[in-house]
Amino acid sequence: MKLLPLLVVFSTLLNCSYTQNCTKTPCLPNAKCEIRDGIEACYCNMGFSGNGVTICEDDNECGNLTQSCGENANCTNTEGSYYCMCVPGFRSSNNQDRFITNDGTICIENVNANCHLDNVCIAANINKTLTKIRPIKEPVALLQEVYRNSVTDLSPTDIITYIEILAESSSLLGYKNNTISAKDTLSNSTLTELVKTVNNFVQRDTFAVWDKLSVNHRRTHLTKLMHTVERATLRLSQSFQKTTQFDTNSTDIALKVFFIDSSKMKHIHPHMNVDGDYINIFPKRKAAYNSNGNVAVAFLYYKNIGPLLSSSDNFLLKPQNYDNSEEEERVISSVISVSMSSNPPTLYELEKITFTLSHRKITDRYKSLCAFWNYSPDTMNGTWSSEGCELTYSNETHTSCRCNHLTHFAILMSSGPSIGIKDYNILTRITQLGIIISLICLAICIFTFWFFSEIQSTRTTIHKNLCCSLFLAELVFLVGINTNTNKLFCSIIAGLLHYFFLAAFAWMCIEGIHLYLIVVGVIYNKGFLHKNFYIFGYLSPAVVVGFSAALGYRYYGTTKVCWLSTENNFIWSFIGPACLIILVNLLAFGVIIYKVFRHTAGLKPEVSCFENIR
């Protein structure tokens, strides 16, 4: 007993640092001064460990405990604590999204996990949710309720249910009985809530949930979502009462709307630019905008939903694995859309839409396709189509397109067999080498026919002009066939190629006609004949090219090569005359062969056939 005071003093000395920290130095923010077992000291708060004076570190409950949340839940560490969330297909026993296990909460199997496979179950779930949400009449409150219910882990049934609810409730959007300023403010708020809510369904975190749906169901419900958002956005845009430009965005979706009064149309050009992806619309030119009215334009940008609209069940493949998949078309860009409504309808007539989208991976530019999502609003079934769209420029990272209609646009990559970039470059070099050799030989022929007077004749004149036409055609081909970056220059190159190749065919026809005249023995005036040969050889191709350019100048030059477009069968402006000339030559050849063999039939049999023909 006599030693007890001494032990107390000794114990106090051992813990003097803690006592002094409480009395002289404040404890760390994550610690507090307490008396435990008769000792006053700084102690770290629950969830932290350390001496409370110099260090209080966060305990990683998720790492320190084995299956701290159980086998059907994921653990997330937070500062000073942690929480658990059940994996898809399970729910917590207390029906809370986040929980900790020290209160006895566990994850149990969700009986509705496969509800999306049963139409009856889906219908029941939709009706149940609609009953809960139907009393909400204010658009902002309605969207906030959908957002709150869809912000956490979603099941396929949840996605289907809330898309149906958004589709059914879209008619509530818009404000009719408010003042002008109130309408504009409420439209802004509703558009912001709409983007925030829809983002829950299109963000990349939901891809694993979409993957549980079949391709057809996935496309149908995603189409319904895009259609609903587009209609709702346009409806809200029409609620504005004065010229307005408004934009809002979330992590995976962006929106931009224009409401333009007719008096301001000359000065406002609707467009959208998100992360380097760009879309612009061009109205038809008018002398003046005299009509009273307005136009609403709505742009939507979906950053990541492209793979969801691909034609494969394996849309979760990483972009670098696309080339190894089966033959199909895959979306390799974001999806961007534009919708428009004008009052009166003729106030703002669309001429064209141009857009540039970046590729999700480096892509062979010869595999890029401009496309739009072509769907039926009645069935919500859709497919990718390129009708009305034209590729204007493409490289390994970006593609630019021009379309003549409104809808959702994207860039596709054809993943079927095609010539690779390396093989294409090799074939290009072989072609260029062959053309160079041909040009050298043609140059030698032209020099020979031109400067050797001993061989001058009608036949050599025809050969000389044929060689000149081929030489110029091949030279233009070598220099300009791939210069498709400049539309005007490419069109000029295509026009020159069209003319010189037709001229070459024309001189081939003249060659056949001249041979026919020789064999038949027609007497002709050499000077007169030469004059007509030159007219036919150079003027007739000019007439064909002139008429073709007048009727379809925009079809000279394509997005890939500077040649005639196959659109609207324009290529037949070259194929038609070429086929006609070939037919004439074949007929002339047939008559010549007939005349020759008929003539040789009565000649001496002891003379060789070759000599008789000569």
- Per-residue model confidence (pLDDT) at position 475: 94
Cis before 344? omega within 30: yes
What confidence category does residue 424 fall into, taking pLDDT thresholds of 50, 70 and 90?
low
The b/e string for 179-209 (b: 16+ C-beta within 10 A; e otherwise) is eeeebbebbbebbbbbbbbbbbbbbeebeeb
For residue 132, pLDDT over 90 is answered with: no
What confidence category does residue 19 fall into, taking pLDDT thresholds of 50, 70 and 90?
very low
Identify whether the C-beta of residue 279 lies closer than 8 Å to the C-beta of residue 271: yes
Question: How does pLDDT run across 48-107, given as a tens digit for each residue?
Answer: 878 777 788 877 778 766 567 877 888 888 877 788 888 766 778 777 778 887 777 888
For residue 476, pLDDT over 80 is answered with: yes
User: Which residues, 6 or more positions from 413, have their beta carbon under 8 angstroms from its beta carbon?
Assistant: 322, 329, 330, 331, 332, 359, 363, 367, 368, 369
What confidence category does residue 3 fall into, taking pLDDT thresholds of 50, 70 and 90?
very low
The b/e string for 63-96 (b: 16+ C-beta within 10 A; e otherwise) is eeeeebbbebbebebeeeebbbbbeeebbbeeee
The b/e string for 332-353 (b: 16+ C-beta within 10 A; e otherwise) is bbbbbbbbbebeeeebbebeeb
What does the pLDDT average to over 13-18?
42
What confidence category does residue 438 fall into, taking pLDDT thresholds of 50, 70 and 90?
very high
What confidence category does residue 214 fall into, taking pLDDT thresholds of 50, 70 and 90?
confident
For residue 4, pLDDT over 50 is answered with: no
Percent of the chain at pLDDT > 90 equals 29
User: Which domains occur in the chain, in start order?
Assistant: 4-59 (2.10.25), 62-109 (2.10.25.10), 115-414 (2.60.220.50), 434-613 (1.20.1070.10)
Token pair of 543 as six digits: 């007439």
Token pair of 374 as six digits: 């072509």
For residue 26, pLDDT over 80 is answered with: no
What does the pLDDT average to over 191-214?
90
Identify whether the C-beta of residue 409 lies closer than 8 Å to the C-beta of residue 337: yes
DSSP 454-515: GG-SHHHHHHHHHHHHHHHHHHHHHHHTT--SSHHHHHHHHHHHHHHHHHHHHHHHHHHHHH
Question: How does pLDDT run across 31-48, given as a tens digit for each residue?
Answer: 888 877 777 788 888 778
Question: How does pLDDT run across 412-421, given as a tens digit for each residue?
Answer: 986 555 445 5
Element (H, E) at 432: helix 421-451
What confidence category does residue 2 fall into, taking pLDDT thresholds of 50, 70 and 90?
very low
For residue 108, pLDDT over 90 is answered with: no
Identify whether the C-beta of residue 370 lies closer than 8 Å to the C-beta of residue 411: yes
- Per-residue model confidence (pLDDT) at position 6: 44
- Per-residue model confidence (pLDDT) at position 13: 42
What does the pLDDT average to over 206-225?
88
For residue 437, pLDDT over 50 is answered with: yes
For residue 315, pLDDT over 50 is answered with: no
Chain centroid to CA 504: 42
Question: How does pLDDT run across 544-580, given as a tens digit for each residue?
Answer: 999 999 988 888 988 778 899 887 889 999 999 999 9
Question: How does pLDDT run across 160-201, given as a tens digit for each residue?
Answer: 889 998 988 877 765 544 545 556 677 888 999 999 999 999
What confidence category does residue 602 fall into, taking pLDDT thresholds of 50, 70 and 90?
low
Output the CA–CA distances (angstroms, integers) from residue 466 to 269, 410, 443, 476, 509, in the order listed: 52, 47, 12, 16, 10
What confidence category does residue 323 fall into, taking pLDDT thresholds of 50, 70 and 90?
very low
Among 93-97, 243-247, 326-330, the least confident range = 326-330
Q: From CA 43, how far away is CA 49, in angstroms rounded?
A: 9
Averaged pLDDT score across all residues of the chain: 81
- Per-residue model confidence (pLDDT) at position 248: 93
Chain centroid to CA 381: 19
Chain centroid to CA 354: 12
